[in-house]
Amino acid sequence: MSLNQTPRGDRVHISLFGRRNAGKSSLINAITGQQIALVSDVPGTTTDPVYKAMEILPIGPVVIIDTAGLDDVGGLGELRIQKTIEVLNKTDVAIVVIDGASPDYSFEKDLLQRIEAKKLPVVIALNKIDQLDQNSIDVEKLKAELGHTVIAVSATGNTGIDNIKQALIKKLPEEEGKSFLVRDIIKPGDLVVLVTPIDSAAPKGRMILPQQQVLRDILDGDAIAVVTKESEYSAALASVGRRPRLVITDSQAFARVSAETPADIQLTSFSILFARHKGDLAELVKGARTVDTLQDGDKVLIAEGCTHHRQCDDIGTVKIPRWLREYTGKQLVFEHSAGFSYPSNLQEYKLIVHCGACMLNRREMQHRIISATGKNIPIVNYGVLIAHIHGILDRVLQPFDIISDPVC
């Protein structure tokens, strides 16, 4: 992850859906002004979702997602359709591309019902208008029929592309760009200490993404950041000459940092900040309390939003299973998932432990939480869980308006 790039998880995700050969890939090329999507007259050229992170003026940093046609056929086609449907879970704004020459829109109406069920903002692109009799194009009639904004475009003729961009801007989620990691709980001039362990799992030559993002948010809030390793933390506190407003640590260093932080200095972790930023902190805290109810043989899912090279003492596959077994005294069964895929058999688990989701956008993390709680499966993230295990959950929630109630 470059320090000069907006993280993928913080980019607006714009996804294009429609039938095969409706012109989705051509429209992506027209919107971006680049030949980034493979275009062909052969139906089904796009077989898997294709992600492209870029800047689109005047929208800003986005991820454009090109998807396979939802009218694909055969066994392989069904798999492609499933992958396309999964994209809805991470989509911030959907573009439904319609071939203007299509004789009916029954397929698109079914697709729009799926999108509406997800409560996603949507723009309809009536494509290939250059191939139609201009007198036959009735955008207002189609808008009334489909119930959404319709923009007439020609992807190959570059007609109506600016109108699509303006429609997207109007459809962007209202909270976009207004959600802060830490800036809203500190004031300009405040001193914030970041404790960032450098261990075998740390990437060579750079800080990990959550640390980068929190540091940037502190600076954007005109506060003062001091960064130290946990081994130098006490010395750093003694040398700064003033009491920090807040200490933010890697959750894995909770035990040491909590012991060395005076009780009147607020303490939290990078992962807990992300629990609030990307997820639902109150729900994740509720999930942490259910750890005390686990029994022998219970299955626990450890889910991560990315794939990475695992070290011998990896937090997801080694440390958290060890800590949970030690804390509960139970023989638990652990299963793991990583990357974009999220299991559909969540009902088999007694607890889901999720990473901080720095590589996922808020929409997808919200989907994962709702998928769990909708089946009455408690879910918690790494930082909240580790704080609970170390008995400091109430303390690390003090910077936020969250009350940690025990499970009855």
| CATH number, span 8-171 | 3.40.50.300
13 with 363: CB under 8 angstroms? yes
Q: Tell me which residues of the chain have a pLDDT lower than 70.
A: 1-5, 36-47, 73, 135, 174-178, 199-203, 308-312, 402-408
Q: Where in the chain is the domain with CATH 3.40.50.300?
A: 8-171
Name the token pair of 343.
């299991």
For 14-38, the DSSP string reads EEEEESTTSSHHHHHHHHHTS--S-
Please give the C-alpha separations between residue 78 and each of 85, 89, 347, in angstroms, as whole numbers: 11, 18, 24
Looking at domain 280-396, which of 3.30.160.110, 3.40.50.11410, 3.10.20.30, 3.30.470.20 is its CATH number? 3.40.50.11410
Please give the C-alpha separations between residue 359 and each of 116, 196, 278, 363, in angstroms, as whole numbers: 25, 19, 10, 12
CB atoms near residue 148 (< 10 Å): 19
Q: Where are the beta strands (DSSP E) in 57-177?
A: 60-66, 93-99, 122-127, 150-152
| CATH number, span 183-272 | 3.40.50.11420
Q: What is the pLDDT of residue 4?
A: 54
Q: Sheet with 246-249: list strands edge to edge.
A: 224-228, 191-195, 246-249, 266-269
Q: Sheet with 50-56: list strands edge to edge.
A: 50-56, 60-66, 12-18, 93-99, 122-127, 150-152
CB atoms near residue 143 (< 10 Å): 15
Question: 50-56 and 60-66 as β-strands: parallel, antiparallel, unpaired?
Answer: antiparallel
CB atoms near residue 375 (< 10 Å): 12
Give the H or E element holding residue 282: helix 281-289
374 with 283: CB under 8 angstroms? no
pLDDT one-digit tens code per residue, 135-188: 677 888 889 999 999 999 999 899 999 999 999 999 887 655 457 899 999 999
Q: Residues near 85 by Cβ (< 8 Å), separated by ≥ 6?
A: 70, 114
Q: What is the pLDDT of residue 310?
A: 63
Nearest to 17 by CA among 172, 173, 127, 181: 127
Q: What is the pLDDT of residue 113?
A: 94
> Would you say the C-alpha torsion 37, 66, 42, 103 has a positive or negative sign?
negative
pTM for this prediction: 0.85
Q: Sheet with 333-338: list strands edge to edge.
A: 333-338, 299-304, 351-354, 379-381
Q: In angstroms, rounded to a whole number, what is the distance separating the alpha carbons of residues 191 and 223? A: 6
Nearest to 276 by CA among 248, 301, 298: 248
Q: In angstroms, rounded to a whole number, what is the distance separating the alpha carbons of residues 347 and 373? A: 10
Q: What is the pLDDT of residue 21?
A: 87
Give the H or E element holding residue 80: helix 74-87
Q: Where in the chain is the domain with CATH 3.40.50.11410?
A: 280-396
Locus of tokens 């948010």:
217
Burial of 322 (0-12, 13-18, 19+ CB in 10 A): exposed
Q: In angstroms, rounded to a whole number, what is the distance separating the alpha carbons of residues 387 and 267? A: 11
Q: What is the 3-state secondary structure (H, E, C) of 331-373?
A: CCEEEEEECCCCCCCHHHCCEEEECCCCCCCHHHHHHHHHHHH
CA atoms within 13 A on the CB side of 21: 8
Q: Where in the chain is the domain with CATH 3.40.50.11420?
A: 183-272
> Would you say the C-alpha torsion 237, 227, 358, 57 has a positive or negative sign?
positive
